[in-house]
């Protein structure tokens, strides 16, 4: 139903939300955040305008979200969180750069977030599981090619 949307106007707004670090904020001048980057990249992908993305700068910013323990965070100086296995990895996949992070370390982090007795995935190891983190953790594992999972579209 893209004919019901002024795609050029939407694309122009997204382009105005681009930051010096290659990321995107929720509005022009707002801080780059991995969740917002996913939304902007997915919209640009659907609009056929990924040509506007500075892939090298953005890939650098996104790959720097991987912390020592293998997990990913949504912005600098924040804790890792299993949900960013979706937001960050899907964004990297959309621009052909999923290999810029250590997939094995991320996989291990996500699996450590799983409740070993009841299943489900938490934001971090030892925390309470919830549906939100379970969905995005499984999607992250799918993007990593984890055995037994159907492939998920990064967009």
What amino acid positions are annotated as catalytic residues? 33, 75, 78, 81, 83-84, 123, 130, 133
Residue 31: both structure tokens together: 């801080």
Which of these, 70, 94, 64, 95, lies nearest to 82 by C-alpha position?
70
Q: Is residue 46 a contact partner of residue 155, using CB atoms and an 8 Å limit?
A: yes
| H-helix segments, the chain | 7-16, 34-46, 55-63, 84-94, 103-112, 131-143
């Amino acid at each position: 139903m893209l004919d019901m949307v002024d795609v050029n106007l939407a694309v122009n707004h997204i382009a105005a939300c681009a930051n010096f670090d290659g990321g995107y904020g929720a509005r022009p001048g707002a801080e780059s955040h991995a969740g917002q980057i996913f939304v902007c990249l997915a919209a640009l992908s659907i609009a056929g305008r990924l040509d506007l993305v500075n892939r090298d700068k953005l890939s650098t910013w996104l790959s720097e979200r991987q912390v020592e323990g293998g997990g990913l965070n949504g912005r600098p100086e924040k804790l890792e969180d299993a949900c960013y296995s979706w937001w960050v990895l899907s964004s990297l996949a959309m621009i052909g750069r999923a290999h810029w992070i250590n997939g094995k370390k991320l996989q291990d982090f996500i699996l450590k977030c799983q409740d070993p007795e009841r299943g489900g995935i938490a934001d971090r190891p030892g925390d309470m599981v919830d549906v939100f983190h379970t969905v995005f953790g499984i999607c992250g594992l799918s993007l990593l090619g984890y055995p037994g999972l159907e492939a998920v579209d990064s967009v």
